[in-house]
Each structure stands twice: as structure tokens, then as C-alpha cells.
């Protein structure tokens, strides 16, 4: 197979190399109960999408370095000045000003707890998480929003104290690089590539 598309930016322009789409031959769909008469065709499609993170890039870069970044509105004219947002919001939803990026790793380590949770036995296409997936909604001291993530070890419970773990080895630069485990979990119990 040819090389998948890769991208970097220079002089404020995308520089691309490799193949961003492949034309794969289609195949007939036939009816086994009616003399294999033609019903249609498959249309294989394989493409590489360029997903720009924009102002959220700092969040994903930090995960690979074991840091959880949040944002805070510091606009003195905003009615909700000082609000801290996790998930990371580039702009304040109240004044629409640009938020300040802050490191909240220590706050997460000291105060993260499960607000509520949901265990999913089935998943959508392209899921790579182990099933059942234990989705947890996490609350933090001093943060006005709640983060959706997933628990890697143990069974979730409301109010349970959890700590963040980060995929620093072989990061994917997606939200899957952040996960959570119960307080007291040992480093050698963590999933491959993850550490505190």
C-alpha cells in the first residue's frame, strides 16, 4: 500500500506528501438466493482527513507531556471572570473573549472525582478502546464545567476519587491520550504507554 498522507506547516501553508485518498476497485453485490443476480456494488473508500486543532492544539500537545491544560476567562469586563473551563475552551462562552491557557494538572491530581458514569458494552465504528468502555464525567475543585473521559482501571462509582494518566509513550495526540484511574493505582498497573 502507498504511503498515507502526512502534513506539516511551513510559511503558514500546509505542506503535504503521500496519498490522501485511494481508489480501490469496487466489487459486485449479488443475491445468493436468486441465481447470483446483481443487486449493487461496494464502494471502498479510504481517505486521510486533515483535522486542524486550531486553538486547542496546546491541549493535545500537553497531554503527550503529562499535563492537563484548561482555560480561564481573565476579561475584567466579563460577569464570569475567573471561570475555569475543562474541557478546554478557547473562548469564554459568556463574553466571547479569548481565554488564558492554564496548567491544571495538580488540581486534577488533588481533586478529580467521578460526578457520574456510563458503562458501554457496545461501541460505534472505529472504536479502539477496550469494552466495556467506562465513560466517566469528572468534576474538579474550582472548575465550572465537567469533563467526559474514560476510566482505564477498576469500576466507576459516583464520588470516587480518580487521578489522570497520560499516554506519553507513543501518543496519538487525541483525547484518548488522557485517561483516569482510581487514587492509589500503582504505576505498573497502567495500560501500555501510560504514566502518571
- Residue from 68, 73, 178, 181 that binds Zn ion (CB under 5 A)? 73
How far is the C-alpha of 137 from the C-alpha of 156, rounded, in Å?
10
Q: Residue 46 or 94: which CB sits closer to Zn ion?
A: 94
How many CB atoms lie under 10 A from the CB of residue 23? 9
Q: Residue 89 or 134: which CB sits closer to Zn ion?
A: 89
How far is the C-alpha of 145 from the C-alpha of 101, rounded, in Å?
15
Q: Residue 73 or 112: which CB sits closer to Zn ion?
A: 73
Residue 78 is a binding residue for Zn ion (CB under 5 A): yes
- Residue from 63, 70, 92, 114 that binds Zn ion (CB under 5 A)? 92
Residue 84 is a binding residue for Zn ion (CB under 5 A): no
Kindly give the residue spans of alpha helices, DSSP state H, lying in 33-186. Answer: 57-63, 105-111
Q: Stretches 55-63, 65-73, 107-115, 148-156: which one binds Zn ion (CB under 5 A)?
A: 65-73
Rounded (to 5) percent helix, strand, coil in the chain: 10, 35, 50
How many CB atoms lie under 10 A from the CB of residue 139? 17
How far is the C-alpha of 171 from the C-alpha of 61, rounded, in Å?
9
Can you tell me whether residue 161 is helix, strand or coil? strand
Q: How many residues bind Zn ion (CB under 5 A)?
A: 6
Residue 144 is a binding residue for Zn ion (CB under 5 A): no
Q: Residue 81 or 168: which CB sits closer to Zn ion?
A: 81
Smallest separation (angstroms) from Zn ion to the CB of 135: 29
Q: Residue 92 or 104: which CB sits closer to Zn ion?
A: 92
Footprint of Zn ion (CB under 5 A): 73, 75, 78, 92, 94-95
Amino acid at each position: 500500500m502507498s504511503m498515507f498522507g502526512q502534513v506539516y506547516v511551513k510559511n503558514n501553508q500546509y505542506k503535504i506528501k503521500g496519498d490522501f485518498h485511494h481508489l480501490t476497485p469496487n466489487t459486485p453485490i449479488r443475491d445468493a438466493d436468486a441465481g447470483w443476480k446483481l443487486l449493487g456494488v461496494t464502494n471502498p473508500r479510504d481517505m486521510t482527513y486533515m483535522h486542524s486543532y486550531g486553538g486547542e492544539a496546546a491541549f493535545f500537545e500537553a497531554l503527550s507531556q503529562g499535563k492537563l491544560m484548561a482555560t480561564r476567562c481573565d476579561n475584567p469586563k466579563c460577569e464570569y471572570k475567573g471561570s475555569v473551563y475543562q474541557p478546554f475552551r478557547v473562548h469564554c462562552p459568556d463574553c466571547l473573549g479569548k481565554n488564558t491557557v492554564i496548567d491544571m494538572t495538580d488540581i486534577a491530581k488533588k481533586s478529580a472525582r467521578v460526578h457520574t458514569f456510563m458503562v458501554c458494552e457496545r461501541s460505534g465504528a472505529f472504536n479502539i478502546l477496550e469494552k466495556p468502555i467506562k465513560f466517566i464525567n469528572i468534576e474538579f475543585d474550582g472548575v465550572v464545567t465537567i469533563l467526559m473521559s474514560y476510566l482505564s482501571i477498576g469500576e466507576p462509582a459516583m464520588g470516587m476519587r480518580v487521578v489522570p494518566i497520560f499516554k506519553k509513550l507513543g501518543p496519538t495526540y487525541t483525547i484518548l491520550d488522557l485517561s483516569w484511574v482510581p487514587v492509589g493505582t500503582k504505576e505498573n498497573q497502567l495500560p501500555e504507554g501510560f504514566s502518571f
